[in-house]
Copies of this chain bind each other. A is one copy, B any other.
């Protein structure tokens, strides 16, 4: 399990000449860091004097952030598995016509999987951005920069995941599949560009 590796080893493997872990795992880790930082802001707001009015919302947000952190942490690994599945499909034999047909089918299935994993990462990152935007105006001011970092990390995770969708899409033959994923991604990207900027500006305003 990658998440059991040390940061040092993870970074070494990211930098190394194996194609995995790569940008897809980095995207998931950025999202997971975003979720973790939302949790931290909640944890340092709950029970603090002056923030009693935010308690219920902070508890709810913490629960959601922790669920997202779990999902995104699992995606660090899922991205590697999807890539390995694709490589395995490409290596299937193609001597006979029947082999060619079943290899093409396997490659297409693996490409779809390698698209839906980063799309799921993008969805989860978008949810983290919403949580960061929620806590930015009401979280403990002493740690509010962390809500801004949460939003930045999750937005970078979302845009990174989008690149990982884009790299596979041109090889997928199912035009409806590609169109539906691209549409979903475009929705997420345009909604979150504004949401993450809003969270960032809210935080900047509270720091000044």
Contact residues of A with B, CB < 8 Å? 2-8, 10-12, 14-17, 19, 22-23, 26-27, 29-30, 32-33, 35-37, 39-40, 43-44, 65-66, 69, 73, 76, 142-146, 148-150, 152-153, 155-156, 159-160, 163-164, 166-167, 170, 200, 203-204, 207-208
Contacts and interface: CB of A to CB of B under 8 A. Distances in A.
Main secondary structure on A side of the interface with B: helix
Contacts of A144: 167
Nearest to A200: B159
A85 to B, nearest CB: 17
Contact of A66 (B8, B15, B36, B149): B15
Given A4-B6, A23-B148, A14 B37 contact: yes
A137 B178 CA distance: 25
Contact of A3 (B6, B29, B30, B36): B6
Determine which residue in A16, A27, A146 has the highest number of CB atoms from chain B within 10 A of its CB, and name it.
Answer: A146
Contacts of A156: 30, 152-153, 155-156
Contacts of A8: 3-4, 73
A66 B12 CA distance: 10
A207 B170 contact: yes
A174 B146 CA distance: 25
Contact of A26 (B5, B149, B159): B149
B2 A22 contact: no
Contact of A152 (B14, B22, B159, B208): B159
